[in-house]
Amino acid sequence: MLSHGQPIICRFVPLLLRMAILMLIFCTTAAVYAENGHSNFNFPFLPPDQFLTGPFANFNGTATANSAIEHIPMNGQPQTEYNFADRRTEEGWWNLYPFGEKFNDIDMADRPWKDLQIDLDFYFPFHGFRFNYTFIYPEGFVAFSYPDYVQPPYTFPNPLWPDQHDPSFIATFLCDQSFVHVGETRLSHVWYRIVTRPQYRWKQPRLDLRDQKATLLHEGRVEDTGLLDEITRDIRENMVGTSGYTADYALIVTWERMGYGGQPKFLRLDEYNEIKKWQNTYQMVITTDEHRSYVLLNYANINYTSSTSAGALSGRGGKQSAIVGFNGGNGTGFYEFPYSARGNSYKLADFGSTQVKGRWIAKVDESIIYGGCSNDSHGALTATNPWNGMIGGNSINVSGPCFRPEDYITMEIDEEIFDCAYINMVKARCIVPFNMVFKTGPVTFQISQDGRSYNWYSTLYIFPPALSRTMVHLLSHTDRIDPSAHRHQWHQADGENLTILWSAANISSKADARIDIVLWGYREDMIEREYIEVGAIARQIPNSGRHTFNPRNLDSSLMVSEQWKRFWGGSIQVRVSGNDQSDYGHYVMWSDPVPFGWYFRNKWEQAFGTDWATKLCIEWYNYDGLRDNFLRKTYAEMPCPCTLDQALVDFGRFTPLPTCEMMGDSSCIYTKGAQHCIVSTKSTAESGTQMCCYDFNGWLMFSQDYEFSPDYLKYFSAGVPYRANPWGGYVYKKPLYVPTWSNFYNDLLPYDLCCRWAGHCEFYYWRRPTSGCQNYEPAVTGIAYGHGHFITFDGTKYTFNGRGHFVLVLLDTPDCKFTAQIRTEQPPRTLYNADVPATVITGVSVQDKDSSVVQVFSRKQFRRWRYRTDILVDGKKYFFDMDRRRFFKRVLVYVPHLVMNQSEVYIQFTSGVGVRVVERHGILQVTVALPPDYRMDKLPASTPTSSEETRCNEAYFTMGLLGTYNGNPRDDFTAPDCSTVTVSMSKSEEYSRTIHDHFGSKWRTEEVKTNNLFGQLPQPLYYPNLFYSKTVFNPIHDPWKYTNYTAMETLIFTRDQEVQVACQGVYSCMFDYLVSGRREDGLDSLMAEKKFENDKRKGEQKVVSCGPLEKNYGVIKYPLGNNYLDGVVVAFTCQTEYYVHGTEQRKCQNGTWSPGWWVWCRSRKVEDALKWFTGILVSMIIVAFIATVFLCCIRTKARRLSEWSNFRITDGSLPNSFRRKPLSKCKNVKHVTARQAT
């Protein structure tokens, strides 16, 4: 009680009332904010994750698309209650994403064929193009360029392109449609809005994220993370290969209750509800992260299938039903969905390719890939990735048929069958067993739903372990100091603080997954191979994505018993503990091949002692010496090029070594000091392969120059021949032919053993000496470039502009059959809208004997933002932005690592022929490299009755537009019928016309007895109608005399000044500049010609080599790396602590070294010791000799004294020995008399 007699509670009643009023106002304000979509507002007494509950909240507390975003009137006036209702509720269209006023959609005006252009504010990749705008049409499609109105039936792509427009569009339900009204009430709507993720906006200079994050929310453009997450989830659940995709942008267009074209008007308002049910409602969602793009088509209600203009009766039948699909535009092709242009297109709403009725999905960025599943009895499969590793163990998610939980799903790869697990109706998960697929290249895999019938199939590319994408990365404590040496600690026997990295999110989809890190060892002998588990680093550890350990502290119980005796190396496997088929991750990840010196070192020391590495090295040395001598064939069949210039030009017989190349990985782990290494594209029958390395001066590095010091390996490791091909061989599963592993076990692991662990690299180099280049014959090259310019194999330059398919190179013999064909087209019009009277190369197709057919095509102008070319092998398109090498039948396709856009492609055949294709501004430059054995055979002896043509037909030629390869430029213009065109070398109009009519035109594929390797697809790049036209194409022959000169040309360039100055007087550059009107085309031809001539001059030059000179320990050769070429004087000396012995200077003359003795060095200590020993020994011999003589004299004197004494005692006569005569034994002793003796 208070002093005034009032209860205490009465004192606080006014305060409590005030608080209650404030709370009521606060709650009312919060409710209004929440209703108006202010998602940044939270109740003060609830955590953010409890702000929304029930079906309208997602896992992170943000509202879903069903209720998170409300419409905010732009004029501030309240709207009717219906405007805030979800338009899907009335008909139950829950397979559509939210649309309408409530979700800030914009409604288009009700005018037929009235387009609405909108800016996307993001890039949408579509069929190779990239757009940041679009046009929305009421007729059921979204276009990326203006389409021309055409009366049905429609034909796409437009066969009259480019004379008529061929637009890029996505057709959800393309037909003539109309807006339906009942009286004056509008029934039809076309809604759209752009959805993005929230962006950070820097409103204030201070870095306060709470003030920088704002939500964009107005009509037609909203920021809605919840809706984009829902779209992402739908894509991931209904299409394989999308686990890493996140939708960052989306455009949602909804056609609500649209009527067919020609539909009668409705005037009776009492039929309003009934009329609404007979219209079409559908939706299109395009979504992208600006690299990958997907399209979802949702159909809620389809009642009519055509229009009156298409001949339909009441919306059904007619000449053509609605079109559903994708048109790439500009003649690139049309891809249609099921039921497109058919009378049963109403089934689009009854069925679907996803787990949601009426929903269809496709990936549309580069090529059209349909997602989901199908109820067809057979078809093509879609895999998570169209590639896989050879070792196996990882999972593959596949889709194709619609799966059921009770299906018995099996997969067959390379005649091996294994079980798969059901994920959902769209996906099945298959784990490829270990050690099953020991081969590389494309293989066919099939799926069965009953374990017997394999009616669904596709192609899977198998990579060798050395070329597959590494998912387990091996790091060490030296990474921060020298990133290029990050794997060296793993290759040492005393490595410490080793770290293993992997993607935790990719290996398992479960947060509480446990991981095993185990070692798999590989070994092989003459008969069999083994690849088994030999130990572990850790088991049952958390899936953190990183594990660091010290090998010295590993528990020896994790090693598999006695395996240290048989295995020296292998790979590291990170896998999910246990076999959990419900885990939808990769399940298993592999590292690159790695030696196990750091793992088994303690065991080896216990068994062999401290010099265990030397003993193991000698064991390998003795074992390898007992095997077949593969060096003899390797040296004879594949000698190394003498210089780097020769190696770069000979891109048919040699390909860069993946771990040491100029345009890629320069770590050179096994070839330190090398700038570039090459490997032969073919191998011997016994799998022997040549590998050569070149230093930074371009000289061939020889193992014979190795200094016997472990420190020398830090900057010098020469290339050596391999006993096993790194890419394997056709047998694959047989020892010496297993891709990657045979090479690792027979050639790379011994290097670690002898050079890094034992410090005795001489043992390794004695078994793997570098091949010399004395027998190397350079390759020869020819090129086609620019607007019809050619340089033949024998060096002749000419210009030929023909339109069509032509034979570039042709050789047909009983042993060889090589064909290279080109497709030439007229390029686009000039900037002053004049036709270009010349042609450029837009396609190349090559085949060698029965190899795979490889095709390279340039892409259209606006399709080059990611890839500059399309590469097809046997008709299937491949991309090389991630995997740079792919092996096919008798051919290797390679894209340099630093070329990210496929603008440079190498095609290398096992026969030694190479083709390089370079793209510049849509024009292909084609260079062909031929080995020496492709040179023309010697012609038969001429007879009086035999003509030149007869003798030509009786010999084998390498012929074509690149000339006759025989070293004689005078017969380069030889036609297929063996007729030879003789022209002067002047660049005149007559010269060019003669070549065109009597030589170039005759090499058209239709006139040569060879198959056309192009076929009908893909279509020509620019003018298909002109390309296949029978009209005669008359190209220009003298650009200075005849040209499409217009007044607009002078506004772009001046002929006499700019053209000649820019082109430096080079004919090909001036020709291209004048006929195309484009400076870049002329400069491209200028650079291509100069580079080719420089490479041809250096690379085709025959050099004479004397081969390496053997030297012993401590010998230094000077100058370093001079390659022992003709005329070079090599000086030998020794290190400062050594003395030199042998011939100190040798000269290479005509492939033979000047006479001399083998150079060797002796240590100064040993030399001095030997000198002292020799001096002492000689001195001792002299002293011994003198002592011997002295003793002889003493003994002689003593004997004489004895005889004299006997004479005096007996008869007194002198003995014969006392008479004057020379002494018989002591010749140098003076004679003594009897008197002196006494």
* Alpha carbon of residue 455 to chain centroid: 31
Task: Tell me the mean pLDDT in the region 171-181.
Answer: 89
Q: What is the mean predicted confidence (pLDDT) over 447-473?
A: 90
Mean residue pLDDT of the chain comes to 83
Phi-psi region of 804 (alpha: psi -120 to 50; beta: other; left: phi over 0): left
Q: Do the Cβ atoms of 384 and 545 come closer than 8 Å? A: no
Structure confidence at residue 1026 (pLDDT) = 73
- Tell me the average pLDDT across 493-510: 88
What SS3 class is residue 678?
A: strand
H or E segment at 743? Answer: helix 741-743
- Residue 358 near residue 379, CB atoms below 8 Å: no
DSSP tag of 172? E
What percent of the chain stands above pLDDT 70? 84
Which segments within 466-551 are labelled E, that is strand?
Answer: 473-475, 498-501, 514-524, 529-542, 546-549
Q: Domain ranges for the chain, please list them.
A: 8-53, 81-370, 379-463, 473-608, 612-768, 780-1099, 1104-1158, 1173-1237
Model pLDDT, residue 57: 32
**Residue 114 CA: distances (Å) to CA of 111, 137, 188, 283, 496:** 5, 6, 14, 18, 71
- Write down the pLDDT at residue 500: 94
Residue 1047 confidence (pLDDT) above 70: no
Q: What is the pLDDT of residue 332?
A: 84
Residues 6+ apart with CB under 8 A from 885: 467, 655, 658, 892, 893, 894
Contact 69, 37 (CB under 8 A): yes
Tell me the residue type at 202: W
Task: Write the secondary structure of 26-91 as one string of H (helix), E (strand) and C (coil).
Answer: HHHHHHHHHHCCCCCCCCCCCCHHHCCCHHHECCCCCECCCCCCCCCCCCCCCCCHHHHCCCCCCC
Per-residue pLDDT at 598 exceeds 50? yes
- CATH code, 379-463: 2.60.40.10
Of 735 and 1230, more confident: 735
Nearby residues of 59 by Cβ (< 8 Å), 6 or more positions away: none
Q: What is the pLDDT of residue 961?
A: 96
What would the DSSP string read from start to end of 1047-1092? GGGGGT--IIIIIHHHHTT-HHHHHHHHHH--HHHHHHHHHHHHHH
With a CB cutoff of 8 Å and minimum separation 6, the contacts of 285 are: 97, 231, 250, 251, 252, 253, 295, 296, 297, 298
Residue 954 pLDDT greater than 90, yes or no: no
Which structure tokens are listed for 686?
A: 């016994």
1104-1158: CATH topology is: Complement Module; domain 1 (2.10.70)
**pTM for the complete prediction?**
0.84
Cα–Cα dist 886/907, whole Å: 10
- Please check the confidence at residue 25 and state whether its pLDDT lies above 60: no
Q: Which of 682, 691, 678 is nearest to 647 (CA)?
A: 678
689 vs 204 pLDDT, higher one: 689
Instruction: Give just the sign of the alpha carbon dihedral 865, 869, 871, 872.
Output: positive
d(CA 32, CA 50): 18
574-613 as b/e, with b when 16 or more CB fall inside 10 Å? bbbeeebeebbbbbbbbbbbbbbbbbbbebbeeeeeeebb
| The residue to which tokens 């000979």 are assigned | 650
Pair 251, 172: CB distance under 8 Å:
no
- Residue 21: per-residue pLDDT: 56
User: Residue 573: what pLDDT?
Assistant: 94
Strand, coil or helix: 1234:
helix
d(CA 356, CA 435): 39
Query: What is the tens place of the pLDDT at every residue in 552-576?
Result: 889 888 999 889 999 999 999 999 9
Judge whether residue 581 has pLDDT over 60. Answer: no
pLDDT band at 846 (very low <50, low <70, confident <90, very high): very high
pLDDT higher than threshold 80 for residue 384: yes
Picking from 793, 1032, 725, 1077, the residue whose alpha carbon sits closest to that of residue 935 is 793
Report the pLDDT value the prediction gives residue 77, as an integer from 0 to 100.
38
Question: CA 734 to CA 748: how far, in whole Å?
Answer: 18
DSSP annotation of 740? T
Instruction: Please state, in angstroms and rounded to a whole number, the distance separating the CA atoms of residues 633 and 106.
Output: 75
Tokens found for residue 612 = 């265990």
Residue 1211 has pLDDT above 90, yes or no: no
pLDDT digits (tens, 9 = 90+) for 79-123: 444 456 889 998 899 999 999 999 999 998 776 667 788 999 899
Please provide residue 120's backbone torsions phi and psi, each rounded to the nearest 5 degrees. -80, -25
Position 1034 scores a pLDDT of: 85
Lowest mean pLDDT among 54-68, 111-125, 416-430, 1087-1101: 54-68
End-to-end C-alpha distance for the chain, whole angstroms: 164
* Residue range 520-541: mean pLDDT, rounded: 93
Residue 411 vs residue 160, higher pLDDT: 411
Per-residue pLDDT at 1174? 87
Output the pLDDT for position 202.
42
Amino acid at 351: F
For the cut 90, the answer to whether the pLDDT of residue 33 exceeds it is no
Would strands 588-590 and 569-576 be described as parallel, antiparallel, or unpaired? antiparallel
Asked whether the beta carbons of 799 and 790 are under 8 A apart, the reply is: yes
Q: Would you call 177 helix, strand, or coil by DSSP?
A: strand
pLDDT digits (tens, 9 = 90+) for 1161-1202: 888 788 788 888 888 899 999 999 999 998 899 888 888 888
Concatenate the DSSP letters of all residues of 87-104 into one string: TTTTTT-TTSPP-SGGGT
**Order of strands across the sheet with 334-336?**
116-126, 129-137, 141-143, 169-174, 323-327, 334-336
Q: How far is 491 from 536, CA to CA, in rounded Å? A: 18
Mean pLDDT of the 856-873 span: 92
Quick check: 824 pLDDT over 90?
yes
Amino acid 8: pLDDT: 43
Mean per-residue pLDDT, 790-805: 94
How far is the C-alpha of 579 from the C-alpha of 515, rounded, in Å? 11
List C-alpha distances in Å: 49 to 43, 54, 58, 214, 743: 11, 12, 9, 19, 57
Of 826, 839, 863, 699, nearest in space to 770 by CA: 699
For residue 322, the one-letter residue type is A
- pLDDT, one tens digit per residue, over 45-90 is 333 333 233 333 333 333 333 433 344 343 333 344 445 688 999 8
Indicate the pairing of strand 789-791 with strand 797-799: antiparallel
